[in-house]
Structures are given as C-alpha cells and as structure tokens.
Chain A
Amino acid sequence: MWRDKEKKAPTQKATSKAWEDLPGLIDPAPAPEEPRPITPVTPTYFTEGSEKPMSETILKTANSSSSGQRQTLLGSSMVLKGELTGDEDLTIEGQFDGTINLKDYCVTIGQHGQVKADINARQVSVGGKLSGKVNARDKIEIRKTGNVVGDLVAMGVAIEEGAYFKGSIEILREEESSTSSSSAATHSRAAVSTWSA
C-alpha cells in the first residue's frame, strides 16, 4: 500500500510538467487575473529623433479612481528625451530629459524619478530628483525625499523638512498672475497678512 502511493506521486508530477511544457495549452487552473487600471495611451507622444509614436509600454494612462481624471505614468525603467505636452496629469518614475508643458495639469515626480527639464504645469510635486526651471500656476511641493536644483516660480511653494533644494524661489502674487484663481489669491493675501502681524 505504501509502495503504491510512492509509485503514483511521480506519475502525477510528470503529467503536470508535461502540461506546462506543451505550447499553446492553458494552465488547468489559471489564477484569476487582477483588473488592470493601466491602459495604453493614445499615441500623442513621440520619442526624440523618431516619428514613431511611443510604445504603449513607455507611457501608460490610467483613470484615477478618486477624480476620474486621466493620468499618465512614465515607468521606472523608462528613459525619455524630448518635449512633452498634453491634457492630463503626469507621474514620472523613470528618467526624463527635456521640457514638460502641462499647463492645466499636475506633474508628479516619484521617489525614483530623475528629471532634467523645464516644467510648466498647474501643480508640481517632487519626491525624486529634479533639475530645471519650474513654473506652476498653483503650487510646487518638494517631498522629504526630493532633491531639486533649479528656479521655482509658483503661487505657493511647500518644502518638507529633510528635502534638498538649491536655487531660487519666487511667489507669484495675484497682481502678477493674470490667470490666478480666487483660492490662490486668498492664499497669497493670507501669507502677506501673517507677515504684517
């Protein structure tokens, strides 16, 4: 009886191995596939020196669950050079070299992101490395893991304790910004009144 069991076991294993080795066969018990939030981006972006649209594996868009706003991700293994414009938020975890113009949208540089670029956006948040001039209509944030060398111009700038920054910071005042929103203007006034007090 014991021997019978010992004999059966290798046979089952061999059968399972054979299933795996056969091309085109589906695993008898496939794991349920996770719903993928990331879908291919519309081919609006082009790599430097190429007229080909960027591969869907380089830039991916997802629907942000909270706001429903479209968001693009440059993955951590990606290196991209050139000019980037668009109408959606952007998160960079890879390397980018060039210019970014997302006037009404947010740019987030993740902890592993490395960016050498002049950025024009509504809001910029930096947790990785950034070198360049940044112009944000609303706010620039530098997280504690952030390392920024450059000139910042925005309605508000927030730097976390522990972040590295070298460069200049200039706050846009309501009279200087023709496109300032009412909330941003209130923020500016509040800042000035703190000083007066």
Chain B
Amino acid sequence: MAWTSQQKALSRTPQPGTGAPVPSQGLEWLWKHLQDVRQPQILDCGPVSPATLQVLLNRRAKVYVADLITPALEADPRFWDRSKKTPLFLTADFLRQLPEIPPASVTAVLSWNLLDLLPAESLPNVLGLFYSLLAPLGVFYCILREPFLAAGIERRWWLESPASPRSQVDAERTFPHPPITNREIEKLLPGASVKIFLTRSGRREVLAMRPAELRI
C-alpha cells in the first residue's frame, strides 16, 4: 500500500531520544548573512548547552543565554494564572526571564522551537520583544512544526557545528497548542523579511530579518 505524503513525513520524524545532526539550510543562510559581522551578539533561548556555546564563542560572538524553552515545555506554574476558568499565560512575567539586553543590539535570536510551546495569544508580545532586540539586519531564527505533526516535541536543541543542529525529542508528547502557519508568522513580524526552509523532519526553519532602516 502506497504511503501518503503525510505518512512519509511522519516516518522521517525524529525518534525518541537524540536526533542525528542534520545540516540546516536555515542556519547556513544565517551564518552566511553574518559572515562580515566581526562580533555578532546572539541570544540563545534554549537550555544552556556547552556545545552550542563552543560553536558561538568560536564565532567570536557575545552570547546571551536565557532558557525560555524549559519553563514553556513544563508549563511552569510561575507563568500561568490558573485562578480563573481559562488559564491565563503571564507573558510579561515569562519574558522577564530574559537577561538585560539593550534594544536593537542583537544580531541573531535562536529561539528554536519556543513558539510551538507558547499559547497563541502570547505570540505578539513575545515576537514583539524579540524583534525590538534585533539590530538592523538582525535575524530571528525559529523552528516550527508542520501542521500535520501532532506529537514529537523537542526538549532541547543544540549546535554540533554552526549549521548542524541536533535535538532531543520526546516522540510521544503531543504539542500543547495549535500549529503556527507561515501566514501567521509573517503577520506577527510586520516589516520583517521572512524566509522559510522546509526540512525533512516535519519542521520549518523560519528566519525573519529586521530591515536596515529602523522603524521604531
């Protein structure tokens, strides 16, 4: 019996545990874009990873680290108001976990799969803040799941080499929120130049570049 395209894609989704490093077109594009930047300033929103740090520091980057993924993944009670019938995500409190970063100073934000873990109503504020941190021509990088994927959350991502990301996947775990479409991400980042790369693992790499001319 022939497989549907959806089944084929599902068969290629990462297995539980650690996924093999896959060359990333998105990251290749990012490093090429930053090749003339002497000291990029990079914000990594995942759990601190010695391997990622090594890669970024070798690139002479100043690295900001703030793990937003773990509290989002574990629905950290500090960031949820459950006193009402519908739980309310406390976006401002959540974003206060970021270290002090001057606005319009960051060359790249690596947010990995963070957006897939957050409720839709929080996304405008989250992306608004990331966008405000980007320097002109700075790039916001994230990974979104394809809409047909219902399970297979990455617990963490790290870099094996500049363009080879690797992830630890919880294959059984279902995604807590509806998928984000390409159109939605473009709407959430008005004015940004958005590039989307499809991967073989049912993910999309999204790169949103802030224009050279600041519109504050």
Interface residues, chain A, with chain B CB atoms under 8 Å away: 149, 151, 157-161, 163-171, 173, 191-192, 194-195
Taking A159-B48, A159-B50, A160-B50 as contacts, is the C-beta distance between A165 and B57 under 8 angstroms?
A: no
Q: Is there an interface contact between A157 and B99, defined as CB atoms closer than 8 Å?
A: no
Q: Is there an interface contact between A168 and B162, defined as CB atoms closer than 8 Å?
A: no
Assembly CA distance A149 to B67 (angstroms): 12
The count of residues in chain B whose C-beta lies closer than 8 Å to any C-beta of chain A is: 19
Q: Which residues of B contact A166 (CB under 8 A)?
A: 65-67, 97, 99
Give the Cβ gap from B76 to chain A, nearest Cβ, in Å.
14
Q: Which residues of A contact B196 (CB under 8 A)?
A: none
Q: Does more than half of chain A's interface fall in helix, strand or loop, or is it mixed?
A: strand
Q: Is there an interface contact between A191 and B57, defined as CB atoms closer than 8 Å?
A: yes
Assembly CA distance A186 to B49 (angstroms): 24
Q: Is there an interface contact between A192 and B48, defined as CB atoms closer than 8 Å?
A: no
Q: Is there an interface contact between A173 and B60, defined as CB atoms closer than 8 Å?
A: yes
Proximity string of chain B (17-32) to chain A, C-beta cutoff 8 Å, 1 when within and 0 when not: 0000000000000000
Shortest Cβ-Cβ A-B pairs, 8 listed:
A195-B58, A165-B48, A170-B62, A169-B63, A191-B58, A168-B64, A167-B99, A194-B58
**CB of B59 within 8 A of chain A?**
yes
Q: Which residues of B contact A160 (CB under 8 A)?
A: 50
Taking A166-B67, A166-B99 as contacts, is the C-beta distance between A171 and B50 under 8 angstroms?
A: no
Q: Which residues of A contact B162 (CB under 8 A)?
A: 195
Q: Is there an interface contact between A168 and B63, defined as CB atoms closer than 8 Å?
A: yes
Taking A173-B60, A191-B58, A195-B58 as contacts, is the C-beta distance between A168 and B50 under 8 angstroms?
A: no
Q: Which residues of A contact B101 (CB under 8 A)?
A: 168
Q: Is there an interface contact between B59 and A195, defined as CB atoms closer than 8 Å?
A: yes
Of A151, A161, A195, the contact of B50 (CB 8 Å cutoff): A161
Proximity string of chain B (56-92) to chain A, C-beta cutoff 8 Å, 1 when within and 0 when not: 0111101111110000000000000000000000000
